[in-house]
A and B are shown apart, each in its own frame.
Chain A
Amino acid sequence: MGKKYENVFELLIETTVYKKKPGRNRHDPTQRFVNPAPSKRKEPLTYDISRRPSNSVEEEPKRNKNKLVSLPSLQAIKQEASQFKMLTVSVKWQKKVFEGIEIDVSLPPYVFKAQLYDLTGVPPERQKIMVKGGLLKDDADWSSIGVKDGQKLMMMGTADEIVKAPEKAIVFAEDLPEEEQATNLNKLPRLVAVLQYTSRHTLSVCSGYSAGLVNLGNTCYMNSTVQCLKSVPELKSALSNYSLAGRSNDVDQTSHMLTVATRELFGDLDRSVNAVSPTQFWMVLRKKFPQFSQLQNGMHMQQDAEECWTQLLYTLSQSLKAPTSSEDSDAVKALFGVNLRSRVHCQESGEESSETESVYSLKCHISHEVNHLHEGLKHGLKGELEKTSPALGRTAVYLKESLIDSLPRYLTVQFVRFFWKRETNQKAKILRKVDYPLELDIYDLCSEELRKKLEAPRQKLRDEEGKKLGLQTKSSSKDGDVKMTDAEAPSNESGESSTAAQQEGTVSKTPFTWMIVCASSSEKGTHMTGIYDLVSVLTHKGRSADSGHYVAWVKQESGKWIQYDDSYPSVQREEDITKLSGGGDWHMAYIIMYKARFVSM
């Protein structure tokens, strides 16, 4: 009920407005509407439409009734309207309905359109008003159109921008000259193929990593080995320095050929965009090491990547030995060699001896207790061996404990996943999960002397990292009171404190002069720290040693990890690299290589 009264009240106001200024408003509508400036818009329209709230639209019929019944004054107005031949119509525009619009029949429809312009903002020339199957013309006569009082009209029109053709005409494939059409068609599938290729393997040219290697038939062990070794720039430059002239006499012909083939292959890989076929290298390798030519059902057999790795390195170390034949100048050894000092101790006799040896890789033995690389390494450095005891005069069990005496630039770790199962006469694989870190600290595997040597550089490294950390916190928070507790921590296992993200840039990467880089010559500028960063992983996937698939995962200088699956290189995320630790059917690390972190003093 309340609403009804409200309406009545509203009407009363309306009528008063009506009465106040009937003359000005109603006898000269042209004045109001012909030139409707926006500022003018509100004022003259107050009495009819614009001030009516939209929600009252539905009430309209009721209101009309009210008008007739209870408000005689309105009736009078209606009569007045008929005197001036006023028609009241409603106009539907878009989803809105404008009710009670009055038409002065004596004036041309253009005036009516101007009225509508006020309401809708659509310029009269863009208005299309539909009256019973026809359009309202600007100069038509109302009487001939036959619009009735209370009729519904419909208006179409917008103030939208008129569509224009784009300035640059679109070229259609059909319009191209015939040859181009043909190429367009032919290009299509190829382009798509390339795109698909890129989407999966991201084209090597664009992303700055080298090409893959074609699998020549079970040669994934070789491919992955080559990809891993190729990631050692020092080895590459050593190879590039190698020449026939520098060849020492004690290197045999096949080793020489293999060295050259390796050099060529590395070069090809850097130059090529598409996958390289390592045919030459493969032939030479087989010549040098006939065991790799074993056939099975007419196919070359799957081989052990570790064997390939070791043999190749050994050959290279032989041929890359400087003619001076001094130990230190053995490039390969300088890069990969690990000197171990072992204490051999016999518990029975109590005799003790020490020996040194040089190996190219550390072994990570996997037993039930081993869950982490560190444990495996420790395990690998301890061993029991039986040998004739001169004191006892019989074979006795000796305990051998080795410690690292000198550190390599690249530390290679082999997971001893394959072993010969005696009972079944089979090579078996240990699938156990062994975690390895992206950053390895082998301080506690080092001998006393080496540890001493490492103290100072490690301190320096910690300082640098601490500074970096400190600086960072300072820049982020103003108080600057943050203590560099990390740096001062005396713990030996401090390696974990620094995060991988910070290592870049802080560690000085000195320009390489490989001649002077040995653990022993560390006084000159750069120093080992005993901390290593993971650079490549060679994985094996499959249940046994003679089957499955080898893949190399190599970190690029840009910090990106690339998976080399034979001829397909693909980008990987760093966090996925540590997931190669075994324990399932996924790729699992077999040989991993760490790069030493240096610090300049």
Chain B
Amino acid sequence: MAPGPDPNSVGDGAKRDEATIKVPSKDPKKKDDKKEEDLSEEDLQLKQNLELYVERVQDPNPELQKAALESMRQEIRASTSSMTSVPKPLKFLRPHYGTLKEFHKNMAESDLKKLLADILSVLALTMSAEGQRESLGYRLTGSEGDIGSWGHEYVRNLAGEIAEEYTVRQGEEASIEDLMDLVQQIVAFHMKHNAETEAVDLLMDVEDLDLLLEHVDRTNFRRTCNYLTSAAKYLPGPDDMLVLDIAYMIYIKFEEYPNALQIALFLDNMQYVKQVFTSCTDLLRKKQFCYMISRHGITFELDPEMVENDVDREMLQDIVNNTKLSEGYLTLARDIEVMEAKTPEDIYKAHLLDGRASSGPSADSARQNLAATFVNAFVNAGFGQDKLMTVPSDSTSGSAGNWLFKNKEHGKTSAAASLGMILLWDVDAGLTHLDKYFHSNDNPIIAGALLGVGIVNCGIKNDCDPALALLGEYIDKEDSSVRIGAIMGLGIAYAGSQNDQIRSSLSPILNDAKAPLDVIAFAALSLGMIYVGSCNEEVAQSIIFALMDRSEAELGEALTRFLPLGLGLLYLGKQESVEATAEVSKTFNEKIRKYCDMTLLSCAYAGTGNVLKVQDLLAQCGEHLEKGDIHQGPAVLGLAMVAMSEELGLDMAIRSLERVLQYGEQNVRRAVPLALGLLCKSNPKVTVMDTLSRLSHDTDSEVAMSAIVSLGLIGAGTNNARIAGMLRNLSSYYYKDASLLFCVRIAQGLVHMGKGLLTLSPFHSERLLLSPTALAGIVTLLHACLDMKSIILGKYHYVLYFLVLAMQPRMMLTVDENLKPISVPVRVGQAVDVVGQAGRPKTITGFQTHSTPVLLAAGERAELATDKYIPLSPILEGFIILKENPDYREE
């Protein structure tokens, strides 16, 4: 007897009867009756044989028994190979299931009993009642042997029953050893027969994924890992990390390093990243890794252990430091022929509007000029030339230095900083252009220059740390605008770097009783950026103290929201790690308590798709508050942040937001467009576009403003003609309302960002990885947009530049082994989800063939259209190194 006979598997008579009655009702018993007569001769023969075997099995003579069993087994095995219908032997044996079961129960322990158990186990496949797991029960009492010989369907059924049995036994804390033996067999069988998904499912059910490592081989590891990574998105709690761990190990095992690196980055596990470098010996591949790390936007130092040669290491470090990003981007721009600078008027296209055009030859409007400054900055971002700021200044009367002065007071800050945007990523040229503004005697201009230095250095690391050297001096200046410029610049330049030197100079500001609120707010924000997702205790402490020190009146200020946000950024995507801090936040003044709570929650679970958190946040949005509480805004944004990571959750979130929009209070409604904007950044979905278009004419001007800005966000860097048209019409619709018009202009600038070469999406590598700094930048802007009037329309419009953190070229640039761009044909098409699909499905659909460099829109994927080269990374995004294919033959 098998150890520990299951009480369920050999159920009592009543139950069994029920089963026998129940099963025929599911199966074509009626047909059976009818067919009784019209069975073919062959079938009749078979039936009679089987009946004879059943008789004989009950014969006392063991010899006869054995022969009968053997023949029965023969019959069954011969027929289970195909499972399109219930096999005949099983069908004919069905009426005898009860008798055989009864007989088996009374049999003495022997080999024969085991044989019979085997047969009963197979019969139970169709006969066993739901939840009885008889098939498994007999299997465990049966003879050991190849279960695969009973057919695929049988194995699958068995796997299902094992999973059930496992949970039951877990509950009873019973031993599972016997099950694991079976699992071993089943997994091996599945892995051998192209059923990786089922093997993974079973192992996940029995919580023993490690087994997988023994069974994967070169032919199936890719499909296995694919399934693992995509399943991870839907797994709760620590399980997903476990699954990814396994995937990482498999990739490492088969030397599929780029994928391994991808997972290491997803797990944010630097140890793994390091392991990838140490396991790989090919320098060229390491270069590719560096490109991948640089796209992710994290700070990463290579050490001699990873790359031995000093010269090589320096070169690789340069790639990680993004020093060549500007070059690559300009290569793309030249190839697409968009180098020509554009003016804001080229973007507004006022000539396409008839009737009241929005600009006239009246006095300069500071608001409109400021808008033009931003539009100019966004549109010409990274191109190094424009028509307002970088024009040579020798013509004294010309527009040269004078555009700066067409901006008023704090507007000059944004104007000077826009140079940083125009020269984005090109540190050398950027510093050269910005230098002269440092010597200005106008504080806003100096502030702008400082911010500009930060922007130029965004995502670029340099040995000399020019940003720190330049900005560090200004942190403690008298004028608060200059201080903010320097602080914000540092935040942008060193986002994610966890630079201790900056912390030691910024932290004191937070707890300086004399520092003005805005300086403190920006310092908290910058620290949050620099330590994004680090859970750094000390920074958290500083911000918490700063929050506690604020007076009642200060807590009501719009800028105060940056303090909790800074705190939240520290825990971006870190899930449970936030709990201690969240606990502390409960002691805050009630004015900020809930706001802080929501911000922390939403940041910590950003990009996790955690359904429970989404429900929590939704509940918050549904409340109808009496007073002007402001915490619902971040709750709505949080909804989007948590749900944004994968497509299904994203669609669900969009639907929920529609509902929130209809039933929510006004302050909730104001945040909904922003949340929609976050969900579809640089991905203009038509439904979302329509919703936002509708909201852009809302009677509540703040709803309209957020909708307009969000239109810009969803179209960011796409040049989407439909959105551009909508915004143009809005510009004439709101021509009298300076504030709304300003928003329209900003949105127009965003849509044409980088002349259509950039994206704001923090997701990359086929939407798997989420760049923390990029997300931090966008979230900060959105939080600022929650109180549009006092921040963006007030004097802190430069928070718009936080978007630079998320700006990345949406390109695929192929380089040769010397990292020089080469042009190869590629197919670009809509990405197809191929996880768990049989065979070798096409990964893209509706493709067009281009030659690199090419632009990739949201949801698009590229593949090489030539065999001449082999890409060093399977994920064709950003910089891709190509190696000549040694097997390639010219036709």
Q: Does B404 have its Cβ within 8 Å of any Cβ on chain A? A: yes
Complex interface bits, A116-144 against B, C-beta within 8 A gives 1, otherwise 0: 00000000001010111111000000000
B364–A170 CB distance below 8 A:
yes
A173–B436 CB distance below 8 A:
no
A187–B408 CB distance below 8 A:
no
B401–A164 CB distance below 8 A:
yes
B408–A174 CB distance below 8 A:
yes
Q: With A156-B435, A160-B435, A187-B362 in contact, is A95–B429 under 8 Å at CB?
A: yes
Write the chain A residue with the least CB distance to B430: A156
Q: With A152-B464, A156-B466 in contact, is A172–B432 under 8 Å at CB?
A: no
* Cα–Cα distance between A174 and B404 once the two chains are bound (Å): 17
A161–B436 CB distance below 8 A:
yes
Residue with the greatest number of chain B CB neighbours at <10 A, chosen from A154, A163, A188, A192: A163
Specify which chain B residues have a CB less than 8 angstroms from the CB of A94 in the assembled complex: 428-429, 432
B367–A133 CB distance below 8 A:
no
Complex interface bits, B427-456 against A, C-beta within 8 A gives 1, otherwise 0: 011011001111110100100000000000
Q: Does B302 have its Cβ within 8 Å of any Cβ on chain A? A: no
Specify which chain A residues have a CB less than 8 angstroms from the CB of B365 in the assembled complex: 172-174
* Cα–Cα distance between A185 and B736 once the two chains are bound (Å): 7
Specify which chain A residues have a CB less than 8 angstroms from the CB of B356 in the assembled complex: 188-189, 192-193
B828 to chain A, nearest CB (A): 33
Complex interface bits, B736-757 against A, C-beta within 8 A gives 1, otherwise 0: 1010000000000000000000
Q: With A171-B363, A191-B361 in contact, is A166–B402 under 8 Å at CB?
A: yes
* Cα–Cα distance between A300 and B464 once the two chains are bound (Å): 86
Specify which chain A residues have a CB less than 8 angstroms from the CB of B402 in the assembled complex: 166
Complex interface bits, B460-482 against A, C-beta within 8 A gives 1, otherwise 0: 00111110111011000000000
B464–A184 CB distance below 8 A:
no
Specify which chain B residues have a CB less than 8 angstroms from the CB of A126 in the assembled complex: 435, 439
A153–B364 CB distance below 8 A:
no
B355-378 residues at the A interface, CB under 8 angstroms? 355-357, 360-367, 369
Complex interface bits, A143-162 against B, C-beta within 8 A gives 1, otherwise 0: 00000000011101110111
Specify which chain B residues have a CB less than 8 angstroms from the CB of A171 in the assembled complex: 363-364
Specify which chain A residues have a CB less than 8 angstroms from the CB of B442 in the assembled complex: 165
Specify which chain B residues have a CB less than 8 angstroms from the CB of A175 in the assembled complex: 366, 408
Complex interface bits, A167-195 against B, C-beta within 8 A gives 1, otherwise 0: 00011111110000000110111011100
Q: With A157-B435, A173-B365 in contact, is A130–B428 under 8 Å at CB?
A: no
Which of A135, A153, A156, A192 has a CB less than 8 Å from the CB of B360?
A192
Which of A133, A135, A158, A184 has a CB less than 8 Å from the CB of B432?
A158
A135–B401 CB distance below 8 A:
no
Q: Does A92 have its Cβ within 8 Å of any Cβ on chain B? A: yes
Specify which chain A residues have a CB less than 8 angstroms from the CB of B393 in the assembled complex: 160-161, 163
Write the chain A residue with the least CB distance to B440: A163
Which of B436, B469, B501, B738 has a CB less than 8 Å from the CB of A163?
B436
Write the chain A residue with the least CB distance to B427: A154
* Cα–Cα distance between A173 and B365 once the two chains are bound (Å): 5
Write the chain A residue with the least CB distance to B404: A163
Q: With A128-B470, A131-B469, A188-B362 in contact, is A160–B464 under 8 Å at CB?
A: no
Which of A128, A166, A174, A176 has a CB less than 8 Å from the CB of B469?
A128
B445–A184 CB distance below 8 A:
no
Specify which chain A residues have a CB less than 8 angstroms from the CB of B357 in the assembled complex: 192
Which of A153, A176, A189 has a CB less than 8 Å from the CB of B363?
A176
* Cα–Cα distance between A128 and B439 once the two chains are bound (Å): 12
A129 to chain B, nearest CB (A): 8
Q: Does B405 have its Cβ within 8 Å of any Cβ on chain A? A: yes
Residue with the greatest number of chain B CB neighbours at <10 A, chosen from A133, A160, A184, A193: A133
Which of B355, B367, B401, B469 has a CB less than 8 Å from the CB of A130?
B469
Please count how many residues in chain B sit with their CB below 8 Å of the partner chain's CB atoms: 45
* Cα–Cα distance between A470 and B466 once the two chains are bound (Å): 76
B809-825 residues at the A interface, CB under 8 angstroms? none
* Cα–Cα distance between A49 and B435 once the two chains are bound (Å): 25
Q: Does B406 have its Cβ within 8 Å of any Cβ on chain A? A: yes
* Cα–Cα distance between A131 and B462 once the two chains are bound (Å): 11
Q: With A135-B473, A158-B436, A163-B440 in contact, is A184–B736 under 8 Å at CB?
A: no
Q: With A126-B435, A163-B401, A173-B363 in contact, is A135–B470 under 8 Å at CB?
A: yes
* Cα–Cα distance between A133 and B428 once the two chains are bound (Å): 16
Residues of A contacting B: mostly: mixed
A163–B445 CB distance below 8 A:
yes
Specify which chain A residues have a CB less than 8 angstroms from the CB of B363 in the assembled complex: 171-173, 176, 184
* Cα–Cα distance between A176 and B364 once the two chains are bound (Å): 11
B470-498 residues at the A interface, CB under 8 angstroms? 470, 472-473
A271 to chain B, nearest CB (A): 29
Specify which chain A residues have a CB less than 8 angstroms from the CB of B445 in the assembled complex: 163
B703 to chain A, nearest CB (A): 24
A173 to chain B, nearest CB (A): 4
Write the chain A residue with the least CB distance to B431: A156
A521-541 residues at the B interface, CB under 8 angstroms? none
* Cα–Cα distance between A174 and B431 once the two chains are bound (Å): 33
B509-534 residues at the A interface, CB under 8 angstroms? none
* Cα–Cα distance between A127 and B431 once the two chains are bound (Å): 12
Write the chain A residue with the least CB distance to B466: A130
* Cα–Cα distance between A232 and B411 once the two chains are bound (Å): 61
Complex interface bits, B380-410 against A, C-beta within 8 A gives 1, otherwise 0: 0000000000000100000001101110100
B115 to chain A, nearest CB (A): 79
B486 to chain A, nearest CB (A): 13
* Cα–Cα distance between A126 and B438 once the two chains are bound (Å): 9
* Cα–Cα distance between A95 and B369 once the two chains are bound (Å): 32
Which of A95, A160, A163, A185 has a CB less than 8 Å from the CB of B428?
A95
B435–A188 CB distance below 8 A:
no
B399 to chain A, nearest CB (A): 11
B429–A135 CB distance below 8 A:
no
B205 to chain A, nearest CB (A): 53
Specify which chain A residues have a CB less than 8 angstroms from the CB of B431 in the assembled complex: 156
Q: With A156-B432, A158-B432 in contact, is A172–B463 under 8 Å at CB?
A: no
Specify which chain B residues have a CB less than 8 angstroms from the CB of A134 in the assembled complex: 468-469, 472
* Cα–Cα distance between A134 and B462 once the two chains are bound (Å): 13
* Cα–Cα distance between A92 and B462 once the two chains are bound (Å): 12
Q: With A94-B428, A133-B472, A156-B432 in contact, is A162–B466 under 8 Å at CB?
A: no
B435–A173 CB distance below 8 A:
no
Specify which chain A residues have a CB less than 8 angstroms from the CB of B735 in the assembled complex: 188-189
Write the chain B residue with the least CB distance to A157: B435
Specify which chain B residues have a CB less than 8 angstroms from the CB of A192 in the assembled complex: 356-357, 360
A166 to chain B, nearest CB (A): 5
* Cα–Cα distance between A170 and B501 once the two chains are bound (Å): 42
Write the chain A residue with the least CB distance to B445: A163
Specify which chain A residues have a CB less than 8 angstroms from the CB of B366 in the assembled complex: 172-175
* Cα–Cα distance between A175 and B365 once the two chains are bound (Å): 9
Specify which chain A residues have a CB less than 8 angstroms from the CB of B360 in the assembled complex: 187-189, 191-192
A162–B470 CB distance below 8 A:
no
Write the chain B residue with the least CB distance to A186: B736
Q: With A154-B464, A160-B393 in contact, is A133–B429 under 8 Å at CB?
A: no
* Cα–Cα distance between A112 and B307 once the two chains are bound (Å): 35
B406–A170 CB distance below 8 A:
yes
Specify which chain A residues have a CB less than 8 angstroms from the CB of B736 in the assembled complex: 185
Residue with the greatest number of chain B CB neighbours at <10 A, chosen from A92, A130, A156, A192: A156
Q: With A158-B435, A160-B436, A161-B393 in contact, is A135–B405 under 8 Å at CB?
A: no
* Cα–Cα distance between A191 and B367 once the two chains are bound (Å): 20
Specify which chain A residues have a CB less than 8 angstroms from the CB of B470 in the assembled complex: 128, 130, 135, 156
If A135-B470, A162-B440, A164-B401 are given as contacts, then 6 extra A-B residue pairs at C-beta distance below 8 Å, sorted by A number, are A130-B464, A132-B465, A156-B431, A175-B366, A184-B362, A185-B736
Q: What are 16 A-B contacts with C-beta separation under 8 Å?
A: A92-B464, A128-B469, A132-B463, A132-B464, A153-B464, A156-B432, A156-B470, A170-B364, A171-B363, A173-B364, A174-B367, A187-B360, A188-B356, A188-B362, A188-B735, A189-B735
The 6 A-B pairs of least Cβ separation, nearest first, read A154-B464, A133-B465, A130-B469, A172-B366, A173-B365, A133-B468
